[in-house]
Amino acid sequence: MINGKKVVVVLPAYNAALTLEQTYREIPLDLVDEVVLVDDAGKDNTLEVGAALGIKHLIRHERNRGYGGNQKTCYRKALELGADIVIMVHPDYQYTPKLIPAMASIISQDLYPVVLGSRILGNGALKGGMPLVKYVANRILTFIQNILVNQKLSEYHTGYRAFSREVLEKIDIEVNSDNFLFDNQMLSQIIYAGFGIGEVTCPTKYFEEASSINLKNSAIYGIGCLQVSLIHRLCKWGLMSHPMYRFKK
């Protein structure tokens, strides 16, 4: 716990057997109360590795539900376990779990209910080997999205995220995509609902085992992100309505 609040780390996995141990060993288990590992019908022995490491909460999807579908299972389980703070870390070791104490502390002290690990602050992305074309696309997308949703985030596309229980109980993630667009939709919901978002500088690593999406899917994702931001703006102007912005009471 931190400041009396229960911390649960969720690991949405797909073929993460080679990097899971390295990721898990950096999780500060003196602060983190529970770890949840969800295997999205991968083809390797991710769950077996997780069990050998002592992870108690192991879930396997019998069919692949996609990155967003995996996260939905992660967050449902974390709330079921009584989490006050939920932190998502990719088990492909692209992001270091060493930032968990900082992110949890920010939420536990009621500074921000949402914290993102930003690869862009401090030039972490390029130093870590992010391909230049992806970096440029990230910057352009983020610039346009900031204008449309009236924010000043350094990036919308990081997979390192921490949430208070209040946030996860307020927004309806079930209406979101089961694929990569889920992350962007979730941030749009959070901003629309008026929750503040903090960012911390996050080093990142790009290597063969780290998960990534190909150029075609990246282009589809980028177009989808722009659509989400445009819908956000039109809903704010009262020109349309969308299920994403129907919040729980």
CATH of the domain at 84: 3.90.550.10
Is residue 1 situated within a structural domain? Answer: no
Condensed to tens digits (0 to 9), the pLDDT of residues 79-135 reads 999 999 999 999 999 999 999 999 999 999 999 999 999 988 876 666 666 778 778
| Domain count within the chain | 1
Query: Phi and psi at residue 85, in whole multiples of 5°?
Result: -130, 130
Q: How far is CA 1 from CA 6, 30, 47, 71, 101, in A?
A: 5, 8, 25, 22, 10
How does the average pLDDT of the chain come out, rounded?
92
Q: Does some domain include residue 2?
A: no
Is residue 130, in this structure, part of any structural domain at all? Answer: yes
Tell me the per-residue pLDDT of 61-82, one tens digit each, with 9 for 90 and over.
999 999 999 999 999 999 999 9
Predicted TM-score of the model (pTM): 0.92
Domain residue limits at 32? 7-245
